[in-house]
Amino acid sequence: MSYNLEQFKDGLKELQIELNEKQISQFLKYYELLVETNKVMNLTAITEFDEVVEKHFLDSLSLCRVYDLKIDAKILDLGTGAGFPGIPLKIAFPNLELVLADSLNKRIKFLNQVIDELELKDITAVHARAEELGRNKDYREQFDVCVSRAVANLSSLSEYCIPFVKVGGKFISYKSGSIEEEVVEAKKAVFVLGGKVTDVYKFDLYEQKRSFVVIDKEKHTPKAYPRKAGTPTKEPLH
């Protein structure tokens, strides 16, 4: 199939990301696997090529606005779903070491297929709930960065994500535009978990208002967190 890559190339240029032919073909292959698998399994409501480029690929890659992805870093993508932002980040920045975590095993099977067919290295997909994985010494405080595009309030997300980050690392949350109130409400949770909000970066992605909340990990997360399965969402730390 042939695709109109103008929009993708314009978006990459705006983000100052250069991809070679191999990387472009990996993105196209990823798109085809996504759409094909989506017929039998609900991975995304967005399937039109231009929309996937804009709302999944370029949105995932826009992390480069707040973090230097050219440096070697170990990144956890929590609640990765169909692989966003982790797979686009890995394709565009092969230097990164990625772990993709999701609580649904059939998504992990899809991600493993993507990893195999795109021949990606230094990337693994893990089937686990955040509350359990966050207590596993192989993962707890082992990452330079934890990212998440998952839909949850910032207090809950912080409790899921901050335990994975090394002291000196960052938790970066992908959010929609109006985020101020959520950031204020999450302040105590972030502090209790050992973090500090250092930046809220807002930008327009085509018709969408997007933002990143950047949280620096300043102290070790107390052993009590994350609390047992389901608690952070039901009773967020305020």
Is the pLDDT score of 5 beyond 90?
yes
Output the pLDDT for position 151: 80
CA gap 155, 78 in Å, rounded: 15
Question: Which has the closest alpha carbon to 78: 138, 164, 141?
Answer: 164
- Tell me the pLDDT band of 106, cut-offs 50, 70 and 90: very high
pLDDT, tens digit (0-9, with 9 covering 90-100), for 209-218: 999 999 999 9
The pLDDT value given to residue 208: 84
pLDDT of res. 18:
97
Q: Which residues, listed in sequence order, are joined to residue 217 by a DSSP beta bridge?
A: 195
| Structure confidence by residue, pLDDT tens digits, 120-136 | 999 999 999 999 999 99
Per DSSP, helices labelled H in the chain are 6-14, 21-38, 49-52, 59-61, 86-92, 105-117, 130-133, 154-161, 180-192, 231-234
Mean pLDDT of the chain, nearest integer: 95
What does the pLDDT average to over 46-75?
Answer: 96
Q: pLDDT category, 219, cuts 50, 70, 90? A: very high
Question: Quick check: 48 pLDDT over 80?
Answer: yes
DSSP annotation of 175 reads E
Q: How much is the pLDDT for 206?
A: 83
Q: Measured between alpha carbons, how far is 29 from 38 in angstroms, rounded to an integer?
A: 14
Share of the chain above pLDDT 90, in %: 89
